[in-house]
Structure 1
Amino acid sequence: MPFINEILMDPLLPASARQQAIDRMYSDPGVPQSATTSSFWLQTPRTFEPKSPTLPTEIDVVIIGSGITGASVARSLLGNANPPSILMLEARGICSGATGRNGGHILEIGDDYAELADSFGMEDAKRILRFRLAHLNEMLAVAEELGISEESQARKVQFLSIYFSEEQWQAALKRLRQFKEEMPEEAAEWTSFEGEGIPKDFHLDRANGIIAGPAGALWPYKFVTSVLAHLLKEYPENIRIEEHTPVKAIHNSASPDRPYKVETDRGTVLAKHVIHCTNAHVGHLVPGLRGRIFPVRGQMSAQIPGDQFPNQANDHSWIFNHDRGFDYLTQLPSGQMMLGGGFAQGELAGAADLGIATDSKLSMLIAIHLSGALPVFFEDWGEVTGRPVQAMWTGNMAFTSDGFPWVGRLPDSATGRSGHGNGGEWISAAFGGEGMVQSWLCGRALATMLLAEDGVLDQSDADLGWFPKQLIASKERLDSTALPRVVDSSHRASL
């Protein structure tokens, strides 16, 4: 868990601040609150049918959450020959959580390969990277298939991962060489630029070196809501989506066929399966995952480029690597620069944002960093007429103690409930800020697991040999991945 260790074990931070962060990470994240910052992505919300006067009393599958993960799960479940009945419940507006607040990147730079190979061996590392890399073509293909590429602005670009420090640059080059040597087919489009070899039209004269490769960008809210609209049209008898309907509690029922009782302010629904796609909020309804999955607040902005900066929306996306942390950037065809990050520049070097499950406030220090970063990153930026920052907002990511998402059937010890052999509670959540290269195929894998358990898939269709085992939910993983509960005064974490 390098991201967590870097903060929780930082001797420069007071032990009390790190202990407060751990306490938040073990606390109940609650349901998404109505008070939020205003995401640029959500400025023109899609109109769906008004919510029904009443909820169904029984359903095959309840999906909690309407972001990209929930959309993927629903699409995969409905795409088989015997689709179940689905009720999707969203606490706020549809796709108003992390998916409607992220950076719009479909980006895997391959930088983790070397560390993964050291930790899990070459074959597992390759499987994890292939899984992540597959999302680019997969999501672009979905957009093409549904005819939503233009609407969702789904497009392939070249990522530029920029390094300003010589030490960091040399380390990145070493990682790149290993990635290209051991995964030559997958890394064929990766290349590097250094010093005088950096193209002038990148406008990155301050860079020490740049790694480039294939990536994607899109308007995430429009992508997900378009997918959901398509499902509602194609499967009107099989799926209902109810927004502004938070789930208050889940209990076991007396029904042998519908073992779960899902309680909302609008009524109670009996379900065979319950799927948790609530990401940062999953610990509210699954208390056993607290301290294993936890919220982390991130910050995004939409900014006007300088008048000398050419529109590169169809050409590039960017990662700016710092001594601590990084920033990430895409540009829209309409010109706006969608810049996020600044986490390490926040209060207490990021510790103040650990365990925060609300998106109603901005970090002043991160806002200062993001507001001034672009003219520094790019040469020949030019002038901006009016206010350069059009919008700034926060969102809640979900990280895990072991660095991997949780996907699959939840053990009873995590929920305190049981499907009694005829149903189950499932999870696809916690993507560590990299949901666009993990969540879509995690949703497909989870749907495959569920359909296989219900006996509606044959062995070949149920094959998950492509799916990384490190992501699978299990009791063993639950028992072995709890965060340290206490930080003592000697700056060591202890269980």
Structure 2
Amino acid sequence: MPSDHFPAPNGMLPYWRTEPHRLDNYRSTEALPKESDIIIVGAGYAGSSVAYHILDQIKPGSKPPSITILEARQACSGATARNGGHMKPDIYNFVATLEAEYGVEAAAEVAVFEARHVHAVKDFVDKERIDCDYTVTKAIDVQLCSGHFQKLKSGYERLVSNGFEPTKPARFVNAEDAESFSGVKGAVGCVTYDASSIWAYKFVLHLLEKVVSQGVNLQTHTPVSKITKSTNESASSSHWQVETPRGTITAQKVILATNAYTSALAPQYQNKIIPVRGTCCRIAVPPASTVPRLTCTYTLRWNGWDYDYLIPRADRSIVVGGARTAFIHDLNNWYNVSDDSRVLEGAVRYFDGYMQRTFVGWEDSNAYTDRVWTGSKCMMITPCICEHTFVFNRTGMVRLTWAVMGYSSDGLPHIGAVPGQQDEYILAGFTGHGMPQIFLAAEGIAKMVVGDVAFEETGLPRLFKTSQSRLDKQENKILSSAPEGGSSLAKL
């Protein structure tokens, strides 16, 4: 498996990118600028959010810094545009592990911080009038393993007994009511709480459009190959050199919003932020179908390590992700893999007839036509009738694509100043759970970059701070989330 991870040049086209924005392949200037006050590497959720918050920190009448955003492919073409569409905080699951390891206070900071995102992003979307299908609803975590449900419930009860306020809004539904409450066949328990869903690509492109209109230089199709300290002593105001195939830019400050690809540019994160490949699809329903209407987001936990997640769409389609059983037993399919241009046939088969076999009342839904794209390749499930772009079958329309996520070895994002480096910052390692963490985390990074504010004064959870002590740890919770480990880490 490769040790240097860069975005594959021909990633598969996901459902969320089927309506490309005018900035999708945009370059603010024909040539790269020679220098910039701030360079942000990555034009996804993290990169666009930090650019927005930096400009928002500038006092009226003050000159804003020059900012250049470098993106290897199209704008928002990585994990942000390939996820399941959840904006789903964790108020009882992984935070119970954090509470046991770090204490109530530290864990509560994480839970409160994530829960804030649901309504903070809603308020921002309303203020900016962003057309991104943002919907505040309820999450339903459906448990299909009695033993795992009891384990989660015990953790919840321990949190509440310890005075863990963020967990109290979660409501548990026991076995006798779980199937009727969730609509999922065989449910043995449920947990429900506030969450939301979003068309993240549209949200991010709105942010990019806003910052570009304020002078930010956006350069798509400009992969960064290397970042080094300047050896030119006369360039005292620009001490980072950022190399790309199109030339080198010098900068005072660099922000790595690179998630899965971080270690290629910051080798100290080798084995600390690891590319992990997941899969996601879209299932559509015929207009005449009378299936029960879904309004909540879902996670279906089949056992301690196997889970799927889904959100309903306004057009009655369903976005589903997971299919871990199709690839989790082979590390080469998902662990330390940064190629999102390949598709796994087993995952395609897994989603075939998914809603019919999983949800009550969907048996005769006549969901139709599987659709899978892999760039210029066509994976044959049944005879292809779409000239090497799509694949169809008779059971349901599924558009499936891979997402490459940046998993942190300790399960927590790395945010703040890169240890041992001056004026280099990181916002990465979200372990498939960045949607309820990134937007407000970017605000904290902006405070550090613009005002030289210490991490501890930003309001960010203490456990999110990147540090040398975290880099020195030898633990790897990612591998413990595999079947042999018996626990599920990601919280999608």
Q: TM-score, normalised by structure 2?
A: 0.84
Q: Structure 1 stretch 381-390 or stretch 317-326: which is displaced more?
A: 381-390
The alpha-carbon deviation at position 178 of structure 1 amounts to 3.0
Change (3 A) 1:179 1:316: farther
Q: Quick check: 1:106 aligned with 2:82?
A: no
Deviations along 1:432-485, one digit per CA (max 9) or x if unpaired, are 0001112222211211122232xxx6x9xx86363222221222322234759x
Q: Quick check: 1:338 aligned with 2:331?
A: no
Q: 2:463 aligns with which of 467, 470, 484?
A: 470
Deviations along 1:279-304, one digit per CA (max 9) or x if unpaired, are 10111111121111110001000011
Q: Which amino acid aligns with 1:209?
A: G
The alignment partner of 2:238 has SS state of coil
Change (3 A) 1:326 1:158: same
Q: 1:46 aligns with which of 21, 30, 45?
A: 21
The alignment partner of 2:425 has SS state of strand
Q: Which amino acid aligns with 1:309?
A: V
Contact 2:323 2:351 in 1 (8 A): yes
Q: Aligned residue for 1:404? A: 412
User: What is the distance in 1 between the residues matched to 2:75 and 2:430?
Assistant: 19
Q: Which amino acid aligns with 1:241?
A: L
- Describe how 1:249-268 pairs up with structure 2 within 5 A: 249-253=226-230, 254=232, 255-268=235-248
Share of identical aligned residues, percent? Answer: 26
The alpha-carbon deviation at position 157 of structure 1 amounts to 0.9
Q: Aligned residue for 1:74? A: 51
Contact 1:344 1:350 in 2 (8 A): no
* Higher RCO structure, 1 or 2 (CA under 8 Å, sep 6+): 1
The alignment partner of 2:184 has SS state of coil
Deviations along 1:157-213, one digit per CA (max 9) or x if unpaired, are 111100112212222222232344445653443212223324746422421111111
Deviations along 1:1-48, one digit per CA (max 9) or x if unpaired, are xxxxxxxxxxxxxxxxxxxxxx65xx111x212222120000111012
Q: Aligned residue for 2:254? A: 274
**Structure 2 unaligned spans of 5+:** 370-395, 486-492
Q: Quick check: 1:28 aligned with 2:4?
A: yes
The alignment partner of 2:329 has SS state of helix
Q: Quick check: 1:246 aligned with 2:220?
A: no
- Describe how 1:63-212 pairs up with structure 2 within 5 A: 63-80=40-57, 81=59, 82=62, 83-110=64-91, 111-148=93-130, 151-182=131-162, 185-198=165-178, 200=180, 202-212=182-192
Contact 1:276 1:427 in 2 (8 A): yes
The alignment partner of 1:108 has SS state of coil
Q: Aligned residue for 1:17? A: none
Q: Structure 1 stretch 196-205 or stretch 328-337: which is displaced more?
A: 196-205
The alpha-carbon deviation at position 351 of structure 1 amounts to 5.6
Q: 1:329 aligns with which of 310, 325, 332?
A: 310
Q: Which amino acid aligns with 2:236?
A: P
User: What is the distance in 2 between the residues matched to 1:298 and 1:450?
Assistant: 32
How many residues of Structure 1 are paired with residues of Structure 2 in the alignment?
440
Change (3 A) 1:385 1:161: closer
The alignment partner of 1:348 has SS state of coil
Contact 1:347 1:363 in 2 (8 A): no
User: What is the distance in 2 between the residues matched to 1:297 and 1:227?
Assistant: 26
Contact 1:311 1:333 in 2 (8 A): no
Change (3 A) 1:471 1:188: closer
Change (3 A) 1:140 1:182: farther
Please give the root-mean-square deviation of Cα atoms over the aligned residues, in Å: 2.4
Contact 1:63 1:277 in 2 (8 A): yes
Q: Aligned residue for 1:377? A: 358
User: What is the distance in 1 between the residues matched to 2:352 and 2:121?
Assistant: 31
Q: Aligned residue for 2:279? A: 299
Q: Which amino acid aligns with 1:121?
A: G
Contact 1:341 1:370 in 2 (8 A): no
User: What is the distance in 2 between the residues matched to 1:177 and 1:465?
Assistant: 31
Q: Which amino acid aligns with 1:302?
A: R
Contact 2:285 2:367 in 1 (8 A): no
Contact 2:298 2:309 in 1 (8 A): yes
Q: Which amino acid aligns with 2:449?
A: L
Q: Quick check: 1:425 aligned with 2:424?
A: yes
**Structure richer in helix, relative to its length:** 1
The alpha-carbon deviation at position 240 of structure 1 amounts to 1.2
Q: Aligned residue for 1:7? A: none
Change (3 A) 1:360 1:438: same
